[in-house]
Amino acid sequence: MLSHFPTGVVIVAGSTPGGPAGVAVGSFASVSLEPPLVGFFVGHESTSWPPIRSAGRFCVNVLADDQAGLCRRFSQSGADKFAGVTWRPAPSGAPLLDGVVAWIDCRLEREIETGDHSLVLGSVTELEVERGSRPLLFHRGAFPGLELPYPGSC
Ligand SMILES: Cc1cc2nc3c(=O)[nH]c(=O)nc-3n(C[C@H](O)[C@H](O)[C@H](O)COP(=O)(O)O)c2cc1C
């Protein structure tokens, strides 16, 4: 039933002693404007999150609608997720992926365990829009695309 709720997709990425690490995340949200905080939920079984947590910094990469392949790649545990992926370091040093709509560089503020996930809160240190393109949407296991006029008027 929850797959009927549409989300955007971000890659939460960090620079770790083992190399760059990242996770595809649909639970991302803006949490607070003052102070600027963002958040997402990460599963306890994630193998990429613990080293990112240890780094204490991460970059939230907002995927564009032509980046569904990156979403699939970063949702597969154990894969060499960064093979062939072009990126540069964000100001924090965390990976900033080429072609994203926007990025939000964060310092890990707090992690709150809840059920089989943790709520991760990030303090925003820097952010930028990279491309004026449409965001990637995820709905019922697929990437439906935005068919509304864009940029839309509400
Ligand atoms: C569209 C989409 C959204 C996802 N959202 C989340 C999420 O919000 N939190 C989460 O823990 N996993 C989420 N996942 C699953 C993780 O991406 C996946 O479990 C993780 O990348 C496993 O890799 P790891 O072991 O390297 O961490 C999502 C997957 C997809 C395809």
Ligand 1 centroid to Cα of residue 134, in Å, is: 21
Report the DSSP beta bridge partners of residue 12: 23, 60
Provide the pLDDT for residue 150: 61
Ligand 1 centroid to Cα of residue 131, in Å, is: 24
Q: How far is CA 110 from CA 33, 83, 87, in A?
A: 16, 30, 26
The ranges assigned to domains in the chain are 2-138
Ligand 1 centroid to Cα of residue 148, in Å, is: 27
Atom 18 in ligand 1: residue holding the nearest Cα: 75
Provide the pLDDT for residue 131: 94
Per-residue pLDDT of 12-27, as tens digits, reads 999 999 999 999 999 9
Ligand 1 centroid to Cα of residue 10, in Å, is: 10
Tell me which architecture the domain covering 2-138 has in CATH.
Roll (2.30)
Atom 16 in ligand 1: residue holding the nearest Cα: 75
Per-residue pLDDT of 39-53, as tens digits, reads 999 999 999 999 999
Which of the four pLDDT bands, split at 50, 70 and 90, describes residue 77?
A: very high
pTM score, whole prediction: 0.96
Residue 154 has pLDDT above 60, yes or no: no
Give the binding-site residues of ligand 1, using a 6 Å CB cut-off.
9, 23-27, 40-43, 46-49, 71, 74-75, 77, 138
Provide the pLDDT for residue 145: 81
Kindly give, in sequence order, each residue whose CB lies less than 8 Å from that of residue 141, ignoring residues fewer than 6 positions away: 3
- Work out the angle at residue 38's Cα, subtended by the Cα atoms of residues 63 and 59, and round it to the nearest 5 degrees: 50
